[in-house]
Chains A and B, each alone.
Chain A
């Protein structure tokens, strides 16, 4: 709904018709400035029909033929207003865009608010570069939540491509459309490498600091909670008693702890090594083995769980200059 005064040069930029205006945080209200309308092929077909009817009417001096021709022209004119109105006044908000692995389609959620009393029918939404258009209606006063899928190529931030809303309602003679750019992005993790290569066991420098007495799988004490610690180890009773959040520490069994290090990762190039690290992170999560990650300039201490995983994968996704 931000309306920054527009420069004349930008206003007449043809690109605006197809790729929309500069990306903004939103919400974006579809106004006359953003909704365009032209006849489609069927509309030109009707124009041809009307021309033929007009000639027939002239030839036979037939006033009813004139009347029907003019009536159809009036209906076509009316349909442009209906098509425009079907889009105008809607407002678009961005929704969630969860991270995905490279190669998987990215999911962008959009919320489309209809603050008016008009039932918006036969709307379509399509991401630039995508072949499929989602068709949907929005009831008066309702909000439609759309999920649009974008192809992902390489890791890193994927900005939301231009979203084009369109409609041919009511008669299919004119297409009204509105391309919008919302400042939204999805994080694309590296593509996980195929399984097969096991991570090398690296002598961890801090290993000595850990208490090693006691039996395997023995509980030996509490430690302060750090983000990334598995939820199942949180000492919930203590939390309930108001003693703060502590994590139960065990010794022994899970000695197979992992230190994932860029330096010791095989791979032909940067991307291959990142893919390999990505696979190891996923494997370690699946196995429930705590792991640490070390990249040039980044060191993420040992941990396990959703948050830890997300932190590691984000580091991998955004690694590099």
Chain B
């Protein structure tokens, strides 16, 4: 069917606001998509506005066709497909611009607004931060104001439209909260698009090859946040355990679980216990990073043989896990299989490596002494901590140890474990995160992707697996202090020196303020993540259980009850109130007139009060006397100047005498 075209006057009144809203709704996408995709929409808005002022022609059928081809070509050029996160979003943006250009009827205009609302949602695939949430709230207000303008007639000003739009958005928030908390959530995904997978990032992978961690090494993105209940472990205890690597092929470290590891004894218990909750960002892996050594954990997790935790499913949404750990706990036996595995090296070691290890063995053959000797080697020889190490030719371990001597945690941990194995000491590589940034405002530890780390463990009889961090020997600041570090042009890390610190102190009042603001913001963001973004099917289940909602029936009662209550409250607030009549006597008269109206006696608009009384007396002789007296007194009070309190009381009494039926 054809739809009637928009009246030009309606378009003139509403198009500027609509174009402003559309231009703003695509603006955040400029950060995630090539600039020409939102630019397409900006151009369409500009064209439409110019056409309104007759500065440009309204796009013809041919130019629309060409623009459609151009838009689709643009998307294909950038993404080579029309689906997936980037491609699909870009397609929606281009579609929004095209629909705006060919908008003719009121139906088209609504379609444009609905498309814009969907485009607002696509932005959430890229960012779910507080600023984006507040921004879209503003854009939605603008779009609603557009709709109000379409329906509100001539007498509603722009300010009036915006005010009403904002009011409606605000009034909808309680309903939104109830639906958000109570409407049953289904665990996604319902369908999967091939390219959606790498949306989660992690600084770790399931194998370790020198150079791999570094790609995310400087990302300040949050990996997880930890709320401690009670004491906080000192910085050197903050090792968050992830995958453990046993097998080395000369270049690459892997888990090497060809045959299952034997069942482990539970750890001995000694030392302090830390209780904490980890709020994990989605990283699409099963790993959960506990503090070493984890003791209690939720039933949905399993403890891997190597001491880290695994979720049942890859973590696709923010999750919160309540854990406890006891750093001093150790495993007390090493099976033959494990010992063999922990001593594996590929082929014969390099001549230089063997000489080095043999020399150390002559000094002191105990495992612990060997480990400390190796650490001393790293510390005393000119090893440099660098995030951009040079490429190594030939044997990677020997090349690193004797030629390049520049590397970061992966190089050091790998080389250390290799040296121990050559010396006949069982050793393995552990990856995970180290450290974290304490937020004193929100009282939580923020662990960033930049904190991804690799270290080593060796087996010491009587002591079990013991952690050694060779990186700490080279760059102790990396481990023991919480430092903002930045890589220089050559990739060498420059740590803040005392001189720089002193210089910084002079500027510190402003920077201190900024740092405090930053901490405050992190705290707010953590609360946002923890209470809003992490609220998924599981958290909802727990929340509902706490409310006592355990079955569908009760959920339906809660939902309908709360929504009904909100509707009633809005209703009471919005109900049109009649203006009170100022004169008390007239108010009494109107009340009595209302009583008579209910009995079918309506005073005609032109009928005088005396005439009405006469007519009432005629049709209802029973009312003649009371209503006659009432009318007489009313007229005396209102027009005769006898406005005394006593007279009013008398009038009220007379009014009561008139029956309601």
Residues of A within 8 A of B (CB): 1-3, 25-27, 41-42, 45-46, 49, 52-53, 55-75, 77-79, 81-82, 85, 88-89, 93, 115-119, 121-123, 135-137, 139-141, 167-173
Contact = CB atoms under 8 A, between A and B. Distances in A.
B347 interface: no
A313 B571 CA distance: 52
Q: Contact size class for B?
A: 35 or more
Interface in B176-216: 176, 179-180, 183, 185-191, 196
A68 B116 CA distance: 12
Contacts of A46: 114
Interface string B495-506: 000000000000
Nearest to B147: A171
A62 to B, nearest CB: 5
B172 A78 contact: yes
Interface string B372-405: 0000000000000000000000000000000000
Contacts of A117: 576-577, 579
Contacts of B107: 41-42
Interface string B109-126: 011001001101100110
Nearest to A170: B148
Interface string B142-179: 00100110111111100000001000110111111001
A26 B110 CA distance: 39
Nearest to B115: A49
B578 interface: yes
Given A141-B579, A171-B147, A71 B536 contact: no
A2 B578 contact: no
Given A46-B114, A53-B121, A78 B570 contact: yes
Contact of B175 (A52, A58, A73): A73
Contacts of B114: 45-46, 49
A262 B535 CA distance: 89
B602 interface: yes
B156 A121 contact: yes
A79 B168 contact: yes
A74 B577 contact: no
Given A115-B578, A116-B579, A172-B151, A70 B185 contact: no
B145 to A, nearest CB: 9
Given A45-B111, A62-B125, A82-B168, 20 more contacts: A42-B110, A49-B118, A59-B191, A61-B189, A61-B317, A64-B133, A65-B124, A68-B120, A68-B136, A70-B176, A70-B180, A73-B175, A75-B168, A75-B169, A78-B171, A85-B575, A123-B153, A140-B579, A171-B144, A172-B110
B461 interface: no
Contacts of A169: 148, 151-153
26 contacts: A2-B600, A2-B602, A45-B110, A45-B111, A46-B114, A49-B118, A58-B188, A59-B188, A61-B189, A62-B124, A62-B128, A63-B180, A64-B128, A71-B137, A72-B140, A89-B576, A89-B578, A115-B578, A117-B577, A123-B153, A169-B152, A170-B147, A170-B164, A171-B144, A171-B147, A172-B147
Contact of A68 (B124, B148, B535, B576): B124
Contacts of A60: 124-125, 188-189, 196
B11 to A, nearest CB: 15
Given A59-B189, A75-B172, A64 B132 contact: yes
A112 to B, nearest CB: 13
Contact of B140 (A71, A137, A141): A71
B597 interface: yes
A306 B600 CA distance: 35
Interface string B554-581: 0000000001000100110011111100
A58 B189 CA distance: 6
A74 B179 contact: yes
Nearest to A71: B176
A58 B168 contact: no
B140 A68 contact: yes
Contact of B151 (A55, A77, A85, A168): A168
Interface string B584-626: 0000000000100110101001000000000000000000000
Chain A to chain B: the 9 pairs with minimum beta-carbon distance, closest first: A74-B172, A74-B175, A116-B576, A70-B179, A89-B576, A61-B317, A70-B176, A64-B124, A75-B172
Nearest to A117: B579
A77 B576 contact: no
Contacts of B437: none
B600 A171 contact: no
A116 B405 CA distance: 84
Contact of B180 (A52, A66, A77): A66
Given A93-B605, A172-B151, A52 B189 contact: no
Nearest to B180: A70
B519 interface: no
Contacts of B286: none
A88 B576 contact: yes
Interface in B84-128: 107, 110-111, 114, 117-118, 120-121, 124-125, 128
Contacts of B532: 63, 67
Contact of B578 (A49, A56, A81, A116): A116
